[in-house]
Structure 1
Amino acid sequence: MEIAPNFLTEIIDEDLKNGFSARIHTRFPPEPNGYLHIGSAKAIFINYFIAKKYGGLFNLRYDDTNPVKEDTEFVESIEEDLRWLGANPDGIFYGSDYFDQCYEYAVQLIRDGKAYVCDLTADEMREYRGTLTQPGRESPYRNRSAEENLDLFERMKNGEFPDGSRTLRAKIDMASPNLNLRDPAIYRIVRAHHHRQGDKWCIYPLYDFAHPIQDAIEGITHSMCSLEFENHRPLYEWVVDNIGFDPKPKQREFARLNITNTVMSKRYLRELVETGRVDGWDDPRMPTLCGLRRRGYTPSAIFEFVQRAGIAKTNSLVDQKLLEYCIREELNAAAPRRMAVLDPIRVVIENYPEGKEETFAVANNPVDAEAGTREVVFTRECYIERTDFAEVPPPKFQRLKPGGEVRLMGAYIVKCNEVVKDADGNVAELRCTADLETANGMPADGRKVRGTIHWVSAAHACDARVMLYENLFTLEDVNAVPEGTNYLDYLNPASLTELHHCKLEASLADAKPGERFQFVRMGYFCKDSKNPDTFNRIVTLKDSFKVEK
């Protein structure tokens, strides 16, 4: 896949024209405090494919500057997701590997009179910061001498002060209309074990200080990030300018990917996992990449969705049905067809000899002539879908009914003669006869049989559990919950339906984890990666959603 022209590629084209850089170099800088989600896929798509478009380089760099929430589990999952997407990085880096350099650059700023140690508490800093309409007030510690600041900063590093008692702040402009430039904190005291650095540090740089330094050291030319960092760009440029990097990386922003009926906040996703409302980060209802992978989505469908959703500077809410459209379009062409009965009724073909078996050739994929056929076994007893029979059929019902006929796909036309019910009055079995002269052909007498349904031989079926998924939330825009409510109030109680004792075509017993199929007339399904007897529904067969070609 190649990224379509967009405002970011226009910026890069202009930069190259003006001799800004000889080689484009991008990066994806996730914080390892959770699993990647489909919103992350947009950032990966932009940075990876832009680098490839211009013959440049693409880095994976872990933003591991906050040890409190980070874990090696997330580090490993991020690389796994990137490689699954096919966005293989040219280099893997860690923000923590630059801690020594960040510290030295902070010392340089102190010596230059551009940073100072501040004793204000977090609440006091917020009070001194001012508002959007009122300028901030200078900290009483703002004019400490460089010597005093150097001494205090070293003592911060050496662990002499309690957590949160002091910060190192950039000395910029407390009256700036951009609140991010009102002497932002660039270092804080945090005693926490780091997954790579161990207990070496008790002070950590904040993202807005560390990130531009990391970009500059790695030779990143274009630091492309989501729109919420647009107001942070002046601080990014202040750090680059005042440390004196040359060449200087550029930060440019794009709109985040927001999707209907789900959440993208790692905080919310973590809460869903930790409170047991979902079955882990890879629950197939989650928008995480591992959840989408387990459900059966493909990297190509995800990237196609990102491309179709568009790359712009205006935030929008993208209909989840577009994602479903993309995977459905791909699997319609690629997925082998198999027969599976999810809610079975036993059918006995009374005029078919007991013990007899014969095979019928059924197409593996009608839209792919090269996919060929497979043999399915027909026997006296089989299963059909409960919804394919109606004792009192509605108007225009073209499936099986008492006294009615229907074709068993690829096999015979059968007629329902008797309905057998259990003690509770539920339909348990249908007694039928087959027109044995209609093996995948029309009746000799010319009568019309309109309905065709799928079936599975009772003697050769394999049992399985099937998981049907719906939207995780009932609210379309979960980021805009009505006042007085919580996003958890809109969890969809029908987001998961478990079907047990499903009857599947015998060949599906050998399906491999992650293998995808179209269950004829039922939807697209994927063999679960954790439970060997389970198939997950990826998406239904049809939807009213329309996409312009």
Structure 2
Amino acid sequence: MAENTSVGSNFIQNEINDDLKNGYYPEGVHTRFPPEPNGYLHIGHAKSICLNFGLAKNNGGICNLRFDDTNPVKEDVEYVDSIQEDIKWLGFSWDDRMFFASDYFGKLYDYAVELIKKGLAYVDDLTAEEIRSYRGTLTEPGKESPYRNRSVEENLELFQKMKAGEFGDGEKVLRAKIDMAAPNIVMRDPVIYRIAHVSHHRTGDEWCIYPMYDFAHPLSDAIEEITHSVCTLEFEDHRPFYDWLLDALGFKVGARPRQIEFARLNLTNTVTSKRKLRQLVEEGYVSGWDDPRMPTISGLRRRGYTPNSLRTFCEEIGVAKANSLVDVAMLEHCVRDDLNKNADRIMAVLHPLKVVITNYPEGQKEFMVADNNPNTSAHRYVPFFRELYIEQEDFMEDAPKKFFRLKPEGEVRLKHGYIIKCEEVIKDEAGNVVELHCTYDPESKTGGATANRKVKGTIHWVSAEDAIEAEVRLYDYLIETDENGEVPADFLAAVNKKSLEVVEHALIEPSASFTAVGTHYQFLRTGYFVVDKDTTPEKLVFNRVVGLKDSWAKAKKG
């Protein structure tokens, strides 16, 4: 197979190129994405998905989806379904190659028996706590279990009894027999099977012993003829056991899988621990795994992030060997850039202030021509009426000199429409501004005699008669972090209580009515928004995806 030199090359691709040059893997590159079905996937998994499927595609190979379902205590069909949905949404396909570690439970048991027969595994009666105490430390060797030197025959008999359900949970385990003085603690006789009288979501009650991840993973890779087993950096210390196991069972170098580690994604202002995300869900800090504040793929999808923006982000951050912290502004830049090209523009007023144009004919209505998107020639018609709504913040009674929006005796241009002048401010009994009376310049619209008359401010608006009401949800970071964007150890204490603001009575121009869930818009001068799944025929609901300000783009230019 020819060496791949495509754009997006990285150190893993370079190692694949070397393997192919050396004549390894003549059948071609074969990768896999191996999630555990014990929670929803997050932005870190998106990086792994893009990497594994991308490496396969770039090398003319194939990529499997394999669920490492070896711990039935935490697994659920709900997670299996959500993972498939996430991968498809990102734009990748495993074709007919979806597998489960549970598909191989019989073979894995046979491999364990083979290790016992070779004198490389034994049944241990120590408790989990005792095993930990016997393991030693980084500076002190471990201590051998008193059961380590059982005969092959005794170990085979005990392991068969474990499988038959004759022992209780935690009563016995099967351990690899390697070296209790190994510098790498992982190699100090790791546990490879444990007893768990728990029903499995696929195999039911067929098994009461289950392989450990470190045992099932390399053997599942080998069974599927994976060539490059790409995983995150925390598995680097486990690679010696990965290789030891394949050596012990006779899988030959150059034909068997090769584990390569890369740095996991750490993102500022973001929790990327599945355990912590589960805690946020189960303890009610968020509404669910797809809460738009969650960094899960389903949460990002509901928030309004696009598949293309996530793929672009994963490509731009690259693949590194060392852990680092990526600025979340870079992720926001990617979705902002994508939506800037593809989202239609509309006008929306989140905090309405009424404007009456006193010299505009009563009962008259006209339609202003407005571009849908600067990148296309499509346009829409926006109704204009004597009574309008503008944003409260676009008017200031005691305005400073450089305030270029509406103020008493001041002029602004209404986007796509006329120039208006504020003539009178109406207040309620408490002194709050509730209404503005303005006049308009009839010739200031496009094509009019004063169309090119310059005013310094342009503001958006909606027609009072035609605007539709909507609920708009404004999101901030879920976790309050330090100045470096790092999540504190006590992350629950750092949950941002103001991470969601709900605007219940926003007003949207009528072109957005009857729009489909998942449709994106740029609210002019406000940000990018998406129609949420809570939308009904009676109520339109929007989520803010991201604001207009792009700090990452500015940083790159600097």
Q: TM-score, normalised by structure 1?
A: 0.97
Residue of structure 1 in register with 2:504 after alignment: 500
Residue of structure 2 in register with 1:365 after alignment: 373
Q: Residue 445 and residue 254 in structure 1: after superposition, are their counterparts in 2 closer, same or farther (change >3 A)?
A: closer
Residue of structure 1 in register with 2:3 after alignment: none
CA distance in 2, matches of 1:310, 1:258: 13
Residue of structure 1 in register with 2:256 after alignment: 248
CA deviation string 1:493-517 (max 9, x = no partner): 2211111110001011121100111
Letter in 2 for 1:33: N
CA distance in 1, matches of 2:163, 2:47: 37
Residue of structure 1 in register with 2:114 after alignment: 108
Deviation at 1:529, TM superposition (A): 1.9
1:49-88 residue pairs with structure 2 within 5 A?
A: 49-88=54-93
Residue of structure 1 in register with 2:464 after alignment: 458
The question of whether the paired residues in 1 share the 8 Å contact of 2:479 and 2:487 is answered with: no
The question of whether the paired residues in 1 share the 8 Å contact of 2:268 and 2:487 is answered with: no
Q: Which has the larger displacement, 414-423 or 166-175?
A: 414-423
Residue of structure 2 in register with 1:395 after alignment: 401
The question of whether the paired residues in 2 share the 8 Å contact of 1:208 and 1:232 is answered with: yes
CA deviation string 1:224-244 (max 9, x = no partner): 000000000000011111111
Q: Residue 423 and residue 211 in structure 1: after superposition, are their counterparts in 2 closer, same or farther (change >3 A)?
A: same
Residue of structure 2 in register with 1:419 after alignment: 425
CA distance in 1, matches of 2:542, 2:264: 32
Residue of structure 1 in register with 2:542 after alignment: 535
Residue of structure 1 in register with 2:33 after alignment: 28
CA distance in 2, matches of 1:218, 1:448: 69
CA distance in 1, matches of 2:467, 2:275: 44
Aligned partner (choices 136, 147, 172) of residue 141 of structure 1: 147
> Residue 510 of structure 1 aligns to a residue in which SS?
coil
The question of whether the paired residues in 2 share the 8 Å contact of 1:3 and 1:49 is answered with: no
The question of whether the paired residues in 2 share the 8 Å contact of 1:359 and 1:378 is answered with: yes
> Residue 371 of structure 1 aligns to a residue in which SS?
coil
CA deviation string 1:422-467 (max 9, x = no partner): 2332211111111112113677498642111111111110100111
Structure 2: state its 5+ residue gaps: 1-5
Aligned partner (choices 272, 276, 292) of residue 284 of structure 1: 292
Aligned partner (choices 66, 72, 95) of residue 101 of structure 2: 95
Q: Residue 479 and residue 175 in structure 1: after superposition, are their counterparts in 2 closer, same or farther (change >3 A)?
A: farther
CA distance in 1, matches of 2:396, 2:61: 62
Q: Residue 480 and residue 402 in structure 1: after superposition, are their counterparts in 2 closer, same or farther (change >3 A)?
A: closer
CA deviation string 1:400-427 (max 9, x = no partner): 0111111111111111111112233221
> Residue 282 of structure 1 aligns to a residue in which SS?
coil
CA distance in 1, matches of 2:379, 2:247: 66
Letter in 1 for 2:534: K
Letter in 2 for 1:358: E
Letter in 1 for 2:377: A
Aligned partner (choices 474, 490, 500) of residue 486 of structure 1: 490
Deviation at 1:478, TM superposition (A): 7.2
Aligned partner (choices 523, 540, 544) of residue 551 of structure 2: 544
Q: Residue 437 and residue 478 in structure 1: after superposition, are their counterparts in 2 closer, same or farther (change >3 A)?
A: closer
The question of whether the paired residues in 2 share the 8 Å contact of 1:295 and 1:526 is answered with: yes
Deviation at 1:480, TM superposition (A): 5.7
CA distance in 2, matches of 1:340, 1:436: 24
CA distance in 1, matches of 2:191, 2:318: 35
CA deviation string 1:471-505 (max 9, x = no partner): 11111567662xxx611111112211111110001
Q: How many residues align?
A: 543
Letter in 1 for 2:543: N
Q: Residue 479 and residue 416 in structure 1: after superposition, are their counterparts in 2 closer, same or farther (change >3 A)?
A: closer
Deviation at 1:365, TM superposition (A): 1.3
1:426-437 residue pairs with structure 2 within 5 A?
A: 426-437=432-443
CA distance in 2, matches of 1:380, 1:442: 19
Q: Which has the larger displacement, 77-86 or 343-352?
A: 343-352
Residue of structure 1 in register with 2:129 after alignment: 123
Letter in 1 for 2:406: L
1:13-24 residue pairs with structure 2 within 5 A?
A: 13-22=17-26, 23-24=28-29
Deviation at 1:363, TM superposition (A): 1.0
CA distance in 2, matches of 1:404, 1:442: 21
CA distance in 2, matches of 1:203, 1:424: 73
Q: Which has the larger displacement, 421-430 or 218-227?
A: 421-430
Deviation at 1:395, TM superposition (A): 2.6
The question of whether the paired residues in 1 share the 8 Å contact of 2:369 and 2:382 is answered with: yes
Deviation at 1:544, TM superposition (A): 2.5
CA distance in 2, matches of 1:5, 1:74: 32
Q: Please tell me whether residue 201 in structure 1 is matched to residue 244 in structure 2.
A: no
Aligned partner (choices 513, 525, 530) of residue 526 of structure 1: 530
Q: Please tell me whether residue 326 in structure 1 is matched to residue 331 in structure 2.
A: no
Q: Please tell me whether residue 356 in structure 1 is matched to residue 361 in structure 2.
A: no
CA deviation string 1:184-231 (max 9, x = no partner): 000000111110011111100000000011000001000000000000
Q: TM-score, normalised by structure 2?
A: 0.95
Letter in 2 for 1:58: C
The question of whether the paired residues in 2 share the 8 Å contact of 1:61 and 1:95 is answered with: yes
The question of whether the paired residues in 1 share the 8 Å contact of 2:518 and 2:530 is answered with: yes
CA distance in 1, matches of 2:486, 2:419: 53
CA deviation string 1:302-358 (max 9, x = no partner): 111111112111100100000011111111111111111111111111111221111
The question of whether the paired residues in 1 share the 8 Å contact of 2:527 and 2:548 is answered with: yes
Q: Please tell me whether residue 516 in structure 1 is matched to residue 545 in structure 2.
A: no
CA distance in 2, matches of 1:527, 1:42: 26
CA distance in 2, matches of 1:478, 1:436: 51
Q: Residue 169 and residue 404 in structure 1: after superposition, are their counterparts in 2 closer, same or farther (change >3 A)?
A: same
> Residue 139 of structure 2 aligns to a residue in which SS?
coil
CA distance in 2, matches of 1:81, 1:446: 50
